[in-house]
Amino acid sequence: MAERHVVRLTVNGESVERLVEPRKTLADFLRQDVELTGTHLGCEHGVCGACTVLLDGDPVRSCLLFAVQADGARVGTVEGLAHDGLHPIQEAFHDHFALQCGYCTPGMLMTVHDLLQRSPSPTREEIRKALAGNICRCTGYHAIVDAVEAAAARLRAAPPREAAR
C-alpha cells in the first residue's frame, strides 16, 4: 500500500484533516473519509457530472481529482448548499418535478448553483448548454430547465445567504 499523505481542506466551511493514499479520488475521499455521501458517482470518468462539487468556488468533477490535489482548497458539496431547509435552487427543483431518482441531482444542483452565480438570467437555451455536462437519465431535462428558470427568478428577487462555496 502506498504511503499516505495528510490532506487538509475545508468542506462546506468545516476544516477537515485526513490521511489518504495519493491515488484516492476526491469523490471517494468525500464519500468515504468525510462521510458526505451526497456526491454521487455515475461514471468515474468525467462525463456524467454526478460527482460535481465546487473547488474554491468552481465546479469540478470530483472523480477526476485526487484528494491530495484538493489540499488547502475550499470544497463545497450538495450537503452545504443550505444551512437548514432547502436552498432556492433545491426548492425550485422540488416545485418543478425536476428530479426522479435523485441520483444526478446533487451534481445538477452544484452545476446550476455555479451557472446562476455567473449568469443570473439565463435563457432556456443557455440553461441547456450549461447542463450539457450533467447526465440525467430519468427526467428528460425539460423539468430541470423549468426549475432552473424558476430558481433564477427566485434568486434575483431574494438572494440567499450562501453556504456552500
Partner 1 sequence: MATSGTRPRAVGRPVKRVEDGRLLAGQGRFVDDLHLPRMVHAAFVRSPHAHARVRHVSVSRALALPGVVAVLTADEAARLCHPWRGILTDYVGMKTALQYPLALDKVRYVGEPVVAVAAADRYVAEDACDLVEVEYETLPAVVDPEAAMRPGTPLIHEELGDNVIYRGGFDKGEVDQAFARAHRVYRDRFVVGRQTCVALEPRSLVAAYEPREGSLSVWISSQVPHMMQAIFARILGLPEQKIRVVAPDVGGSFGLKIHCYSDDVAACLLAMRLGRPVKWIADRLESFATDIHCREHLVDVEAAVSADGTVLGLRSRAITGVGPWSCYPRSSVVEGNQVIRLLTGPYRIRNYKAELNVVAQNKALMSQYRAVGHPIASMVMESMLDRAARDLQLDPVEIRRRNLVRRDELPYTTAFGYVFESGSYLESLELALDKGGYARWREEQARGRREGRHLGIGLSCFIELTAPGSFYGSGGAPISAQDSATVRVEPGGTVTALIGVTNQGQGAHTAFAQIIADQLGVSVEDVNVMSGDTALVPYGGGTSGSRGAVLGAGASILACRAVAEKVRRIAGHLLEAAPDDVELRDGKVSVRGAPDRSLTLADIGFRVYYQSDKLPRDLEPSLEATAHYTPARPITWANGVHMVVVEVDVETGLVKILRYVTVEDCGPMINPALVAEQVRGAVVQGIGSTLYEHVVYDAEGQLLTRTLMDYLVPGAAEMPDIEVHHLETPSPFTLGGFKGIAEAGTAGAPGAILNAVNDALAPFGVRLTRQPITPDLIRSALRQAPALNRDGRR
Of 37 and 121, nearer to ligand FES (C-beta) is 37
* Among residues 7, 9, 11, 40, the one that binds partner 1 under rule CB under 8 A: 40
Contact (CB, 8 A) for 142 and 128: no
Cβ-in-10-Å burial (0-12, 13-18, 19+) of 101 comes to exposed
Closest C-alpha among 140, 42, 145 to residue 100 = 140
Partner that binds at residue 61, options partner 1, ligand FES, none, CB closer than 5 to 8 Å by kind = ligand FES
Rounded to a whole number, what is the largest CA-CA distance in the chain?
Answer: 53
Interacting positions 76-105 with partner 1 (CB under 8 A): 77-79, 81-82, 86, 90, 93-95, 97, 99-105
Please report how close the Cβ of residue 25 comes to ligand FES at its closest, in angstroms.
9
**β-bridge mates for residue 16, sequence order:** 9
Which of ligand FES, partner 1, none does residue 131 bind to, with CB < 5 to 8 Å depending on kind? partner 1
Answer with the entry of ligand FES, partner 1, none that 37 interacts with (C-beta below 5 to 8 A by kind). partner 1
Chain positions 41 to 80 lying near partner 1, rule: CB under 8 A, are: 41-45, 47-48, 50, 77-79
Burial of 45 (0-12, 13-18, 19+ CB in 10 A): exposed
Confirm if 113 and 92 have CB atoms less than 8 A apart: no
Applying CB under 6 A, the residues found at the interface with ligand FES are: 41-44, 46-51, 61, 63, 99-105, 136-139
Nearer to partner 1 by Cβ, of 37 and 72: the residue is: 37
Chain residues that interact with partner 1, rule: CB under 8 A: 1, 21, 23-24, 31-32, 36-45, 47-48, 50, 77-79, 81-82, 86, 90, 93-95, 97, 99-106, 109, 124, 127-129, 131-145
